[in-house]
Amino acid sequence: MSRLATLVGLALKSAWNRRLTLSLIVLSVALSTVLLVGLERVRGQVRTAFVQAISGTDLVVGARGGQIQLILYAVFHLGGATNNMGWDSAQKIAAMDGVAWTVPLSMGDSHRGYPVVATEAGFFERFRYRRDQALEVAEGRPFGDVFEAVLGSEVAARLGYGLGQSIVLRHGLGQAAPDHADKPFSVVGILAPTGSPVDRSVYINLESMEAIHIDWRGGAPIRGFSVSAERARKMNLTPKSVTALLVGLKNRRDVFALQREIQSAPGEALSAVMPGVALDQLWRLLGSGERVLWLVSILVTATGLMGLISSVLAGLGERRRELAILRSVGARPLDVLALLSLESLALTLAGVLMGLTFLAILIAVLGPVISDAYGVAIDLSPPTAREWLLSCAIIVAGYLAGLVPAVRAYFLSLGDGLSVSV
Amino acid sequence: MLKILALAFSSLLLFAGAAMAQTHAAHEHGVATLDLAISGNSLEVGLDGPLANFISFEHEPSTDAQKAEVADMVAKLAKAGELFKAPAEANCKVKAIAFVSEKIPAALFGQYAAKGGEAAHGHDHGDHDHGHDHGDHDHGHDHGDHDHGHGHDHGGEAGAEHGDIEARYEFECADIGKVTGLDIGLFPVFPNLSEIEARVVSDKGQSAQELTAADSRLKW
């Protein structure tokens, strides 16, 4: 056996003797890896889910107001619109040169905390999320008639609804608001999961929205006046206003000109927002929180590596005799240096591999739960370039950290004879 | 997660949203907007911002010195290939350049004057006047604290002394697939320009980016 093989064999045996300490080191590196790489994974996916919550829509138009509010309620269905835009304005925009399609959205009602969005059947064809991904109806069909509802996947799963379920919508978003018990809806379709706000919404058509409010005035039922569902069906259900309008253009590059045209058009004061631009800007505002998380996880990783240095250093005292014996059987001081630094490299490598495995298991187990709870799809996919880079950075940092005790051992073994006075 | 994030930050956002809402037309010194549209093999750039980013005044030039300053600005803005650097292998050529400002007579822009007060547009939506909504815009002039120094030394009529300039560029690239970003060379040339709010539209979708002298690469 060559000298090196003997050394490595001895080093392995030595490591086996110290297996408890070493496995704790590996574990701490593994946990750092889970945190650092996991955070990167979640950050990437949250950003994707956020920025690509809507795609294929060139402009979102609503009553004049804040750009962010418009996006929050038109895309994320959060909060309520302060003002609606007139139906005539919506039709004017639909007729504009360069506009390929429009999909109106009308909001304000809810069902057990989930927002109700009234729209046209075109929504199911036109709406896109991620990279041009279309909606899919998992069960049943899109709504056709009045008083038919299509549920987002999360709504159906959480509330345990299937096709044919009868549901009652609540006026407004609060729990105490009056409901539309006289005009129940029947579930005709359930959408496939998208990881977008669509999962948490209930879709009905615009006529239904009009019908359930036909005997309402100012947010409450009109006293002593009620219209039955059957009669409402036969009345004129053309909406007078909508909350927002999704606009698709024939030619995407016309969006700047069209945005100006809509915002400066005479008549009703409107805001036109480019959703991709607004979401990027929003994410930039959220970015400072992201940086804090990032800093914390780097600190945790540094702490893990410090632990590696300190435990190897502490162990060095006990190992002085062992190293001296190694020297006596022919190991040179440089061999000792190499052995110890290789040991830390192997430890970090094992730690990182273990961390990535942990992470994969964690994602496989918790991914569906997170997706259900927060609508963010964390996929089990091979690490991205940035994640590989991070993993390599941890390994390099671990190797460098391991050099500290290795160099110390080198100098110790230069000085120590066989008779170590520990 | 999205819901929590969005709710937690919504107050901040609504506050910040007011500042962002009209980014395109707000008159904030030091800030310009850049709109970039890519389709087919053409690349259109629209640069829009206060005149003060490019010259030292925002009124109609009257003295020879002021006219010389305008001429200098025109010469600098006309170097399209240096202001918007695309990768050489994409082989992009400048096809059209046009400037328009309600404060500067078209004659001073010479060959780059937009025809009929209209910046060069390669599409069908050019029939409304891009210049007109600068004069009568109804949003307040958005001066940050930092720029109270300038623009206010014109005596009582300071409020009227705001002017914008709009520059339109059209490039045609032999291999547009190679263009996945542009190096924006405006900052060294115009030291008063400190920030560009860029918006990009391509077949891939829309995106937004904030550019500064330190980070002047526009990617998409």
pLDDT of residue A172: 80
A60 in B contact zone (CB under 8 Å)? no
pLDDT of residue B10: 46
Measure A263 CA to nearest chain B CA, in Å: 10
CB atoms within 10 A of CB B118: 16
Domain assignment of residue A278, yes or no: no
pLDDT of residue B56: 92
Per the listing, tokens 């490598």 go with: A349
Residues of B in contact with A97 (CB under 8 A): 124-125
- Choice among A30-34, A74-78, A351-355, B135-139 with the minimum mean pLDDT: B135-139
Please, which residues bridge with residue B187 across strands?
A: none
Domain assignment of residue A251, yes or no: yes
Residue type, A329: V
pLDDT of residue B149: 38
- The residue out of A244, A273, A302 marking a domain boundary is A273
End-to-end CA distance of chain A: 32
pLDDT of residue A375: 60
Helix extents (H) in A186-332: 206-212, 229-234, 255-264, 275-328
Domain assignment of residue A421, yes or no: no
Q: CA dihedral in degrees (A46, A50, A51, A57; nearest 10)?
A: 150
CB atoms within 10 A of CB A51: 20
Same domain, A392 and A264: no
Domain assignment of residue A281, yes or no: no
Average pLDDT, chain A: 86
Residues of A in contact with B121 (CB under 8 A): 257
- Choice among A41-55, A248-262, A369-383 with the minimum mean pLDDT: A369-383
- With a cut of 70, say whether residue A261 has pLDDT above it: yes
Q: What is the pLDDT of residues A156-195, one digit of tens each?
A: 999 999 999 999 998 887 777 788 888 999 999 999 988 7
- With a cut of 90, say whether residue A275 has pLDDT above it: yes
Q: What is the pLDDT of residues B59-84, one digit of tens each?
A: 999 999 999 999 999 999 999 999 99
- The residue out of A221, A242, A273 marking a domain boundary is A273
> pLDDT band at A124, cuts 50/70/90?
very high
Rg over alpha carbons for chain B, rounded to the nearest Å, is: 18
Same domain, A123 and A263: yes
A209 vs A367 pLDDT, higher one: A209
B33 vs A368 pLDDT, higher one: B33
Report field, pTM of the whole predicted structure over 0.95: no
Q: What is the pLDDT of residues A8-22, one digit of tens each?
A: 887 788 888 888 888
Same domain, A181 and A157: yes
- With a cut of 90, say whether residue A225 has pLDDT above it: no
* Distance in angstroms (rounded) separating the CA atoms of residues B45 and A93: 25
ipTM reported for the complex, 2 dp: 0.71
Sign of CA pseudo-dihedral A156, A162, A164, A170: negative
Measure A231 CA to nearest chain B CA, in Å: 38
Q: Domain tally for chain A?
A: 2
Residue type, A76: F
Same domain, A104 and A156: yes
Which 3 state secondary structure label does DSSP give A282?
helix
Give the residue numbers spanning the domain of A211: 59-273
Closest CA to B28 of B104, B141, B130, B137: B141
Give, as one character, the DSSP assignment of residue A179. Answer: B
Same domain, A129 and A213: yes
CB contact under 8 A, A68 and B16: yes
Q: What part of A 291-350 touches B (C-beta under 8 Å)?
A: none
pLDDT tens sequence for chain B (220 residues): 444 444 444 444 444 444 444 444 578 899 999 999 998 899 999 999 999 999 999 999 999 999 999 999 999 999 999 999 999 999 999 999 999 999 999 999 989 988 754 444 434 343 344 434 443 444 444 443 343 434 333 433 444 578 999 999 999 999 988 898 999 999 999 999 999 999 999 888 899 999 999 999 998 8
- With a cut of 70, say whether residue A104 has pLDDT above it: yes
CB contact under 8 A, A256 and B201: yes
* Distance in angstroms (rounded) separating the CA atoms of residues B86 and B181: 7
Same domain, A88 and A157: yes
- The residue out of A273, A295, A313 marking a domain boundary is A273
Q: What is the pLDDT of residues A289-326, one digit of tens each?
A: 778 888 888 888 888 888 878 887 887 777 777 888 87
Residues of A in contact with B123 (CB under 8 A): 98, 251, 253-254, 257
Size of interface A-B (CB pairs under 8 A): 130
Residue B99's φ and ψ, nearest 5 degrees, are -120, 145
pLDDT of residue A407: 86
Nearest CB to B203: which of A67, A252, A276?
Answer: A252
Nearest CB to B207: which of A68, A277, A289?
Answer: A277
Residues of A in contact with B20 (CB under 8 A): 67-68, 278, 281
Helix (H) or strand (E) segment spanning residue A175: none
> pLDDT band at A419, cuts 50/70/90?
low
Domain assignment of residue A377, yes or no: yes
* Distance in angstroms (rounded) separating the CA atoms of residues A197 and A279: 14
* Distance in angstroms (rounded) separating the CA atoms of residues A89 and A96: 11
pLDDT of residue A214: 85
- Average the pLDDT over A76-82 and give the result: 76
B157 vs A344 pLDDT, higher one: A344
Per the listing, tokens 């059957």 go with: A230
* Distance in angstroms (rounded) separating the CA atoms of residues A50 and A39: 16
Same domain, A148 and A293: no
Which 3 state secondary structure label does DSSP give B171?
strand
Residues of B in contact with A251 (CB under 8 A): 39, 123
Q: Are A134 and A152 in contact (CB under 8 A)?
A: no
Same domain, A141 and A266: yes
pLDDT of residue A47: 79
Same domain, A268 and A376: no
